[in-house]
Amino acid sequence: MNRTLLIRLSAAALFLVGAWVAYTQQGKQASNKLNKLKDDLYEIEGDGGNVAFYITNEGVILIDDKFEYDFNDIVDKVKSVTNQPIKYVLNTHHHGDHTGSNAKFLPTAEIISTLNARKNIIEGKQPGAPRVTFTTESDVFLGGKEVRMQYFGRGHTNGDAAVYFPALRVVHTGDLVAGNSPLIDYGGGGSLVEWAATLDGIMKLDFDTMIPGHGPVGKKADIMTYRNNVEKLRTRVTGLVRGGSSKDDVAKVLTTEFGWDPKGLQMTRGLDGLMVELKR
Ligand SMILES: [Zn+2]
Protein backbone atom coordinates (compact mmCIF):
# COMPACT_ATOMS: atom_id res chain seq x y z
CA MET A 1 0.00 0.00 0.00
CA ASN A 2 1.01 3.56 -0.75
CA ARG A 3 2.72 4.91 2.36
CA THR A 4 1.35 8.44 2.05
CA LEU A 5 -2.17 7.08 1.82
CA LEU A 6 -1.58 4.92 4.89
CA ILE A 7 -0.41 7.94 6.88
CA ARG A 8 -3.37 9.99 5.69
CA LEU A 9 -5.81 7.21 6.60
CA SER A 10 -4.28 6.90 10.07
CA ALA A 11 -4.48 10.64 10.62
CA ALA A 12 -8.13 10.69 9.52
CA ALA A 13 -8.97 7.81 11.83
CA LEU A 14 -7.25 9.48 14.79
CA PHE A 15 -9.14 12.68 14.12
CA LEU A 16 -12.42 10.76 14.08
CA VAL A 17 -11.62 9.01 17.37
CA GLY A 18 -10.86 12.36 19.00
CA ALA A 19 -13.94 14.08 17.60
CA TRP A 20 -16.14 11.17 18.59
CA VAL A 21 -14.87 11.01 22.15
CA ALA A 22 -15.28 14.78 22.56
CA TYR A 23 -18.80 14.63 21.15
CA THR A 24 -19.98 11.75 23.31
CA GLN A 25 -18.65 13.33 26.52
CA GLN A 26 -20.31 16.70 26.20
CA GLY A 27 -22.49 17.42 29.25
CA LYS A 28 -23.19 13.74 29.88
CA GLN A 29 -24.39 12.22 33.14
CA ALA A 30 -23.40 8.69 34.09
CA SER A 31 -26.11 6.08 33.54
CA ASN A 32 -25.04 2.57 34.55
CA LYS A 33 -26.35 -0.60 36.14
CA LEU A 34 -24.48 -2.90 38.56
CA ASN A 35 -24.75 -6.66 37.91
CA LYS A 36 -23.36 -9.38 40.16
CA LEU A 37 -21.89 -12.15 37.95
CA LYS A 38 -20.12 -14.51 40.37
CA ASP A 39 -18.81 -14.41 43.93
CA ASP A 40 -16.75 -11.21 44.13
CA LEU A 41 -17.10 -10.45 40.40
CA TYR A 42 -19.37 -7.62 39.25
CA GLU A 43 -20.12 -5.92 35.96
CA ILE A 44 -21.11 -2.30 35.33
CA GLU A 45 -23.12 -1.91 32.14
CA GLY A 46 -24.47 1.25 30.49
CA ASP A 47 -22.24 4.06 29.20
CA GLY A 48 -19.31 3.13 26.97
CA GLY A 49 -17.57 -0.21 27.38
CA ASN A 50 -18.54 -2.83 29.95
CA VAL A 51 -16.62 -2.55 33.23
CA ALA A 52 -15.90 -5.58 35.42
CA PHE A 53 -14.43 -5.58 38.92
CA TYR A 54 -13.06 -8.37 41.10
CA ILE A 55 -12.96 -7.95 44.88
CA THR A 56 -10.09 -9.43 46.90
CA ASN A 57 -9.12 -8.91 50.55
CA GLU A 58 -6.12 -6.85 49.39
CA GLY A 59 -7.99 -4.55 47.01
CA VAL A 60 -10.15 -4.39 43.90
CA ILE A 61 -9.08 -5.14 40.31
CA LEU A 62 -11.09 -3.07 37.79
CA ILE A 63 -11.35 -3.90 34.08
CA ASP A 64 -11.82 -0.81 31.87
CA ASP A 65 -13.17 2.51 33.13
CA LYS A 66 -15.68 3.93 30.58
CA PHE A 67 -15.72 7.71 30.02
CA GLU A 68 -14.31 10.34 32.34
CA TYR A 69 -17.82 11.37 33.39
CA ASP A 70 -18.40 7.80 34.66
CA PHE A 71 -15.51 7.94 37.17
CA ASN A 72 -17.58 8.87 40.23
CA ASP A 73 -20.31 6.40 39.35
CA ILE A 74 -17.79 3.55 38.96
CA VAL A 75 -16.19 4.39 42.33
CA ASP A 76 -19.64 4.62 43.99
CA LYS A 77 -20.75 1.27 42.59
CA VAL A 78 -17.57 -0.43 43.80
CA LYS A 79 -18.04 1.19 47.23
CA SER A 80 -21.63 -0.07 47.37
CA VAL A 81 -20.35 -3.67 47.65
CA THR A 82 -16.87 -3.40 49.25
CA ASN A 83 -14.66 -1.13 51.36
CA GLN A 84 -11.55 -2.34 49.53
CA PRO A 85 -9.71 0.28 47.43
CA ILE A 86 -9.32 -0.03 43.66
CA LYS A 87 -5.67 -1.08 43.30
CA TYR A 88 -5.43 -2.07 39.62
CA VAL A 89 -7.17 -0.89 36.45
CA LEU A 90 -6.70 -3.19 33.44
CA ASN A 91 -7.41 -1.64 30.02
CA THR A 92 -8.67 -4.07 27.35
CA HIS A 93 -7.60 -1.54 24.65
CA HIS A 94 -7.03 2.18 24.10
CA HIS A 95 -10.45 3.53 23.04
CA GLY A 96 -11.80 6.44 25.06
CA ASP A 97 -15.01 4.65 26.02
CA HIS A 98 -12.87 2.03 27.85
CA THR A 99 -10.05 4.24 29.22
CA GLY A 100 -11.79 7.58 29.79
CA SER A 101 -11.34 7.56 33.59
CA ASN A 102 -7.67 6.46 33.47
CA ALA A 103 -6.31 9.89 34.39
CA LYS A 104 -8.54 9.98 37.48
CA PHE A 105 -7.50 6.49 38.62
CA LEU A 106 -3.78 6.92 37.93
CA PRO A 107 -2.88 8.73 41.19
CA THR A 108 -4.19 5.84 43.33
CA ALA A 109 -4.16 2.73 41.11
CA GLU A 110 -1.72 0.97 38.79
CA ILE A 111 -3.06 0.83 35.22
CA ILE A 112 -1.95 -1.99 32.92
CA SER A 113 -2.44 -2.44 29.15
CA THR A 114 -0.65 -3.96 26.19
CA LEU A 115 2.30 -1.93 24.92
CA ASN A 116 0.40 -1.22 21.69
CA ALA A 117 -2.66 0.04 23.57
CA ARG A 118 -0.37 2.43 25.47
CA LYS A 119 1.22 3.59 22.20
CA ASN A 120 -2.25 4.25 20.76
CA ILE A 121 -3.24 6.23 23.87
CA ILE A 122 -0.11 8.39 23.54
CA GLU A 123 -0.57 8.87 19.77
CA GLY A 124 -4.20 9.82 20.25
CA LYS A 125 -3.19 12.35 22.94
CA GLN A 126 -5.57 10.63 25.36
CA PRO A 127 -4.97 11.27 29.07
CA GLY A 128 -3.97 8.60 31.61
CA ALA A 129 -1.46 6.40 29.76
CA PRO A 130 -0.73 3.19 31.71
CA ARG A 131 2.64 3.02 33.51
CA VAL A 132 2.83 -0.77 33.19
CA THR A 133 2.57 -2.66 29.88
CA PHE A 134 3.06 -6.15 28.46
CA THR A 135 3.20 -7.78 25.03
CA THR A 136 1.86 -11.32 25.46
CA GLU A 137 0.74 -11.89 29.05
CA SER A 138 0.50 -10.16 32.40
CA ASP A 139 -0.90 -11.66 35.60
CA VAL A 140 -2.12 -9.79 38.64
CA PHE A 141 -2.04 -11.76 41.91
CA LEU A 142 -3.87 -9.98 44.68
CA GLY A 143 -5.37 -11.33 47.91
CA GLY A 144 -4.84 -14.92 46.78
CA LYS A 145 -6.74 -14.34 43.53
CA GLU A 146 -5.51 -14.21 39.94
CA VAL A 147 -6.46 -12.15 36.89
CA ARG A 148 -4.64 -12.88 33.62
CA MET A 149 -4.39 -10.48 30.68
CA GLN A 150 -3.39 -11.98 27.34
CA TYR A 151 -2.75 -10.62 23.87
CA PHE A 152 -3.84 -13.13 21.21
CA GLY A 153 -3.30 -11.03 18.08
CA ARG A 154 -4.87 -8.19 16.12
CA GLY A 155 -8.60 -7.68 15.67
CA HIS A 156 -10.52 -4.61 16.83
CA THR A 157 -7.10 -2.88 17.26
CA ASN A 158 -3.47 -4.01 17.47
CA GLY A 159 -3.52 -3.98 21.28
CA ASP A 160 -6.61 -5.85 22.52
CA ALA A 161 -6.16 -7.87 25.70
CA ALA A 162 -8.54 -10.60 26.85
CA VAL A 163 -8.89 -10.58 30.64
CA TYR A 164 -9.31 -14.00 32.22
CA PHE A 165 -10.52 -14.89 35.72
CA PRO A 166 -9.38 -18.56 35.96
CA ALA A 167 -11.04 -19.40 39.29
CA LEU A 168 -14.40 -18.05 38.10
CA ARG A 169 -14.12 -19.32 34.51
CA VAL A 170 -14.99 -15.88 33.10
CA VAL A 171 -13.39 -13.88 30.25
CA HIS A 172 -13.75 -10.17 29.49
CA THR A 173 -13.13 -9.91 25.73
CA GLY A 174 -13.05 -6.13 25.36
CA ASP A 175 -14.25 -5.07 21.90
CA LEU A 176 -12.99 -8.28 20.26
CA VAL A 177 -16.64 -9.22 20.88
CA ALA A 178 -19.04 -6.26 20.69
CA GLY A 179 -22.26 -5.75 18.77
CA ASN A 180 -23.25 -8.13 15.97
CA SER A 181 -20.67 -7.13 13.39
CA PRO A 182 -17.05 -6.14 14.07
CA LEU A 183 -15.75 -2.58 14.28
CA ILE A 184 -12.27 -2.76 12.71
CA ASP A 185 -10.27 0.27 13.83
CA TYR A 186 -7.59 0.34 11.13
CA GLY A 187 -6.20 3.63 12.46
CA GLY A 188 -5.62 1.77 15.74
CA GLY A 189 -3.93 -1.18 14.01
CA GLY A 190 -7.03 -3.39 13.66
CA SER A 191 -7.30 -6.34 11.25
CA LEU A 192 -10.30 -8.25 9.96
CA VAL A 193 -8.03 -10.95 8.49
CA GLU A 194 -6.44 -11.77 11.86
CA TRP A 195 -9.56 -11.30 14.01
CA ALA A 196 -10.87 -14.90 13.87
CA ALA A 197 -7.50 -16.41 14.87
CA THR A 198 -7.39 -13.99 17.80
CA LEU A 199 -10.81 -15.23 18.96
CA ASP A 200 -9.60 -18.85 18.50
CA GLY A 201 -6.87 -18.05 21.03
CA ILE A 202 -9.45 -16.87 23.56
CA MET A 203 -11.62 -19.94 22.92
CA LYS A 204 -8.77 -22.20 24.11
CA LEU A 205 -9.15 -20.82 27.64
CA ASP A 206 -11.30 -22.77 30.10
CA PHE A 207 -14.38 -20.60 30.80
CA ASP A 208 -18.16 -20.52 30.50
CA THR A 209 -19.08 -16.84 30.95
CA MET A 210 -18.09 -14.05 28.55
CA ILE A 211 -18.24 -10.31 29.22
CA PRO A 212 -18.22 -8.55 25.83
CA GLY A 213 -16.88 -5.04 25.26
CA HIS A 214 -20.44 -3.76 24.89
CA GLY A 215 -23.86 -5.36 25.40
CA PRO A 216 -25.16 -8.12 27.64
CA VAL A 217 -23.01 -10.81 29.27
CA GLY A 218 -22.98 -14.08 27.31
CA LYS A 219 -21.63 -17.62 27.16
CA LYS A 220 -18.56 -19.16 25.56
CA ALA A 221 -20.66 -20.27 22.56
CA ASP A 222 -21.48 -16.63 21.81
CA ILE A 223 -17.82 -16.04 20.95
CA MET A 224 -18.02 -18.83 18.34
CA THR A 225 -21.12 -17.22 16.82
CA TYR A 226 -19.31 -13.88 16.70
CA ARG A 227 -16.23 -15.53 15.17
CA ASN A 228 -18.38 -17.03 12.42
CA ASN A 229 -19.85 -13.61 11.67
CA VAL A 230 -16.33 -12.18 11.44
CA GLU A 231 -15.39 -14.88 8.91
CA LYS A 232 -18.60 -14.39 6.94
CA LEU A 233 -17.84 -10.69 6.65
CA ARG A 234 -14.23 -11.35 5.62
CA THR A 235 -15.22 -13.88 2.94
CA ARG A 236 -17.97 -11.68 1.49
CA VAL A 237 -15.98 -8.46 1.36
CA THR A 238 -12.81 -10.19 0.11
CA GLY A 239 -14.84 -11.51 -2.84
CA LEU A 240 -16.13 -8.02 -3.59
CA VAL A 241 -12.79 -6.25 -3.26
CA ARG A 242 -10.84 -8.79 -5.33
CA GLY A 243 -13.66 -8.84 -7.89
CA GLY A 244 -13.12 -5.13 -8.45
CA SER A 245 -16.13 -3.69 -6.58
CA SER A 246 -15.92 0.01 -5.79
CA LYS A 247 -15.80 1.39 -2.26
CA ASP A 248 -19.41 2.57 -2.65
CA ASP A 249 -20.54 -0.91 -3.72
CA VAL A 250 -18.81 -2.47 -0.70
CA ALA A 251 -20.39 0.15 1.58
CA LYS A 252 -23.84 -0.78 0.23
CA VAL A 253 -23.30 -4.48 0.98
CA LEU A 254 -22.01 -3.68 4.49
CA THR A 255 -25.16 -1.66 5.11
CA THR A 256 -27.73 -4.06 3.64
CA GLU A 257 -26.20 -7.44 4.57
CA PHE A 258 -24.28 -6.65 7.75
CA GLY A 259 -26.31 -3.81 9.23
CA TRP A 260 -23.53 -1.19 9.19
CA ASP A 261 -24.77 2.36 9.62
CA PRO A 262 -23.53 4.31 6.54
CA LYS A 263 -22.32 7.12 8.83
CA GLY A 264 -21.45 4.94 11.86
CA LEU A 265 -18.06 4.15 13.38
CA GLN A 266 -17.82 0.73 11.70
CA MET A 267 -17.94 2.47 8.32
CA THR A 268 -15.85 5.56 9.13
CA ARG A 269 -13.06 3.58 10.82
CA GLY A 270 -13.30 0.37 8.83
CA LEU A 271 -14.21 0.83 5.18
CA ASP A 272 -10.99 2.38 3.78
CA GLY A 273 -8.87 -0.14 5.66
CA LEU A 274 -11.01 -3.08 4.47
CA MET A 275 -10.52 -2.02 0.85
CA VAL A 276 -6.75 -2.17 1.37
CA GLU A 277 -6.39 -5.18 3.70
CA LEU A 278 -8.66 -7.52 1.75
CA LYS A 279 -7.14 -6.63 -1.63
CA ARG A 280 -3.90 -8.42 -0.77
ZN1 LIG B 1 -13.12 -0.16 21.15
pLDDT at 89: 98
pLDDT at 28: 85
10 Å CB burial of residue 35 (0-12, 13-18, 19+) is middle
pLDDT at 17: 52
Residue ranges near ligand 1 (ion) with Cβ within 5 Å = 95, 175
Backbone angles phi, psi at 81, to 5 degrees: -125, -10
Query: Residue 17 C-alpha to ligand 1 middle, in angstroms?
Result: 10
pLDDT at 1: 43
Q: How far apart are the first and last CA of the chain?
A: 9
Query: Residue 143 C-alpha to ligand 1 middle, in angstroms?
Result: 30
Query: Residue 213 C-alpha to ligand 1 middle, in angstroms?
Result: 7
Query: Residue 94 C-alpha to ligand 1 middle, in angstroms?
Result: 7
Query: Residue 51 C-alpha to ligand 1 middle, in angstroms?
Result: 13
Gap between the Cα atoms of 114 and 130, Å rounded: 9
Neighbouring residues of 223: CB distance < 8 A, sequence distance ≥ 6 = 173, 177, 199, 202, 203, 210
pLDDT at 280: 82
Query: Residue 179 C-alpha to ligand 1 middle, in angstroms?
Result: 11
Query: Residue 248 C-alpha to ligand 1 middle, in angstroms?
Result: 25
Query: Residue 181 C-alpha to ligand 1 middle, in angstroms?
Result: 13
Query: Residue 156 C-alpha to ligand 1 middle, in angstroms?
Result: 7
Query: Residue 244 C-alpha to ligand 1 middle, in angstroms?
Result: 30
Gap between the Cα atoms of 258 and 235, Å rounded: 13
Query: Residue 219 C-alpha to ligand 1 middle, in angstroms?
Result: 20
Query: Residue 208 C-alpha to ligand 1 middle, in angstroms?
Result: 23
Query: Residue 146 C-alpha to ligand 1 middle, in angstroms?
Result: 25
pLDDT tens track of the chain, all 280 residues?
444 455 455 544 544 454 445 445 556 899 999 999 999 999 999 999 999 999 999 999 999 999 999 999 999 999 999 999 999 999 999 999 999 999 999 999 999 999 999 999 999 999 999 999 999 999 999 999 999 999 999 999 999 999 999 999 999 999 999 988 999 999 999 999 999 999 999 999 999 999 999 999 999 999 999 999 999 999 999 999 999 999 999 999 999 999 999 999 999 999 999 999 999 8
pLDDT at 180: 87
Query: Residue 172 C-alpha to ligand 1 middle, in angstroms?
Result: 13
10 Å CB burial of residue 153 (0-12, 13-18, 19+) is middle
Query: Residue 180 C-alpha to ligand 1 middle, in angstroms?
Result: 14
Please provide the DSSP assignment of 194-225 as one string.
HHHHHHHHHHTS--SEEEEEESS-EEHHHHHH
Query: Residue 82 C-alpha to ligand 1 middle, in angstroms?
Result: 29
Query: Residue 167 C-alpha to ligand 1 middle, in angstroms?
Result: 27
